A and B are shown apart, each in its own frame.
Chain A
Amino acid sequence: MANLHNSESNYDQDLLQSQPKKQQKSIAPKILIAISFLYVGLVLLIPASNVFVQAFAKGFTPLIEAFKQEDFVSAIKLTVGLALVALPLNTIFGLSAAWAIARNKFPGKALLLSIIDLPFSISPVVAGLMIVLLYGRIGWFGSFLEANNIKIVFAFPGMLIATIFVSMPFIAREVIPVLDEMGTEQEEAARTLGANDWQIFWKVVVPNIRWGLLYGLVLTNARAMGEFGAVSVVSGNIAAKTQSLPLFVEEAYKNYENEIAYSAAVLLALLAVVTLVLKEILERKTHNPNERE
């Protein structure tokens, strides 16, 4: 009893002592939260909401008018087309690389991981330059391509290569940690029960990594549809032919056609909003089981 009483009074004393500190603390968080919101507001939110304000300042008519322009529609088609080809290819690569890295021990694993990450640190303009030096007229394969009448630079294939380059690492990066965490027990169990590689992949691996994979896909798609620098270098920016939506935005802005620039920009901003919402949902799905452990 004495002990209990003692600890209780200690507790009281603690409470008393911490009272002034608590009060001090209750102001500090509010200030810090306010600063955070102010900074994010100034740096991110004002510019982001401006896109919507400018685009819909005159209602929906500018956007509807924009859809009547051939260049605008073909820019959308090109952007979607680039993503439609780049995404599956990068998914196959990302899954293969993730599997190879997560399921094997070998020297140089860290190096391989760094190599896969390289596209994140190389400037998009330098990436575009490298593609020009390979496939452009003066490039390594330039004369061969010209002789065979294949156009890569200033055409869709070059833009595709640029898109693939800049969005390459996302899927591997998101799937590797999931594979690591999942372990190999389930795969082994399936194997001993007589499943083949394909069955193991579809019935055991995919259900486990699906959220991580989807997360990687969302990020790949956002980058693929939004890439500007690398695609700009290799595209030649020919309206209605090699002009993707981000390139269309810049060209319209340079020509002082703000209205249509914002019509194109708002589509890309909507893509960003969808990306962020999906990201939030998927982040919770992939990371929450982690935190519960």
Chain B
Amino acid sequence: MAAPVSTNVPAKGTPYGVIAEFETPAAVLHAAEKVRDGGYRRWDTFTPYPLHGLDKAMGLKDSKVGYISFVGGVLGYTTGMIMIWWMNAVDYPILVGGKPMFSPFGAFPPSYELTILFGSFGALLGMLFLNRLPRLHHPLLKHRRFAFASHDRFFIVIETTDPKYSETETRKLLEGAGSKHIEMVDE
């Protein structure tokens, strides 16, 4: 293997952060633990697939998507029930075969479907909202090596806005964590 590459790419404007490349999932997992223990806040790992164990290695809390989806589901069920009750029992009652104007049993199947429909929208839109997506521009997507993040490489990016960021210390940490390819990313 070649010696650690530490070419200091001259930054145009303020750099976005420092990017470190890793070749195996185990390497990035252990590096993430070191960055977490280093007390960094504004950083992330980038992997081609969801890497299990990385949430813990990064010290992430459980995702909050579930709450948004739950609200969607409750909203869907009540929408169904209230809509059917209001339409068939209040606004324009039609008597069919002597059945009650409103019965929660007859109204259940459409309400059940609406629960799932709204809950699913809650899950997808909640995921996008929590991830601040869609996003048309990202500094990393301009970086020439970053395309490998969706292929077979693993990256750790520490942003320059992190309170603990220091040009020398952060680089030293990432080198110590085993990265052989560390560069700056322009904003």
Physical interaction between A and B: no
Residues of A within 8 A of B (CB): none
Residues of B within 8 A of A (CB): none
